[in-house]
Amino acid sequence: MTHQQLTSGAPPPVPARQLTLRFSSTRRGARLARQLAVQQFTEWTGLAYDSDVAQAVALVTAELASNAVRHGSLPGRDFRLSLALMPAFLRIDVTDTRPERLPPPEAPEPADDESSGRGLFLVEAYADRWGCMVHDAYTKTVWAEVRLGAMTL
């Protein structure tokens, strides 16, 4: 599991399949983003909804979307979810409207008595790689790549 802080770089490889949608910056929007990500992933790959990889996609999407709602939203501004299916992984991008609020370079170890603060720790545990890109003065994207395993497309 690695984290990468990027402000610019080479464009990613062309995905086999791709989907981008906007959601309201609400708890409901985050929940819908998670549900859609798993539904689309299982449709694209044919894997079961309750497979380990689909559950990892659900967890990572839920955490990134939840962080966008909780820490990256401005009133009246949506967040964007982009899914890109590559031969070896699914890339999950969540773009929000608070580029000045970057995630920490390393996921902090959660305290046992805290009721929150485990999001990036879980992303780091379930994603092969994750990072953040600042596009401009108005948006940032936090992304993660979930490995597909031995499955081939």
* Number of domains the chain contains: 1
What's the N-to-C CA distance of the chain in angstroms? 23
Query: CATH no. for residue 94?
Result: 3.30.565.10
* Residue bearing the bigger pLDDT, 45 or 115: 45
DSSP 8: S
Distances from the Cα of 76 to the Cα of 79, 82, 142, 150, angstroms? 10, 20, 20, 42
Q: Which helix (H) or strand (E) holds 133?
A: strand 129-134
Single pTM value for the model: 0.81
| 112 belongs to a structural domain | no
| 94 belongs to a structural domain | yes
Domain that holds residue 54: 2-9+17-107+121-147
Confidence band, pLDDT 50/70/90 cuts, at residue 107: low
Pairwise CA distance, residues 26 & 24, whole Å: 5
DSSP 115: S
Quick check: 114 pLDDT over 60? Answer: no
pLDDT at residue 7, rounded to an integer: 43
pLDDT at residue 128, rounded to an integer: 93
| 48 belongs to a structural domain | yes
pLDDT single digits (tens) 3-58: 555 444 556 667 789 999 999 989 999 999 999 999 999 999 999 999 999 999 99
| 52 belongs to a structural domain | yes
| Four-point Cα dihedral 25, 28, 33, 36, nearest 10 | -150
* Residue bearing the bigger pLDDT, 137 or 76: 137
pLDDT at residue 72, rounded to an integer: 73
Output the average pLDDT for the chain: 83
Question: Residues 122-146: what's their mean pLDDT?
Answer: 92
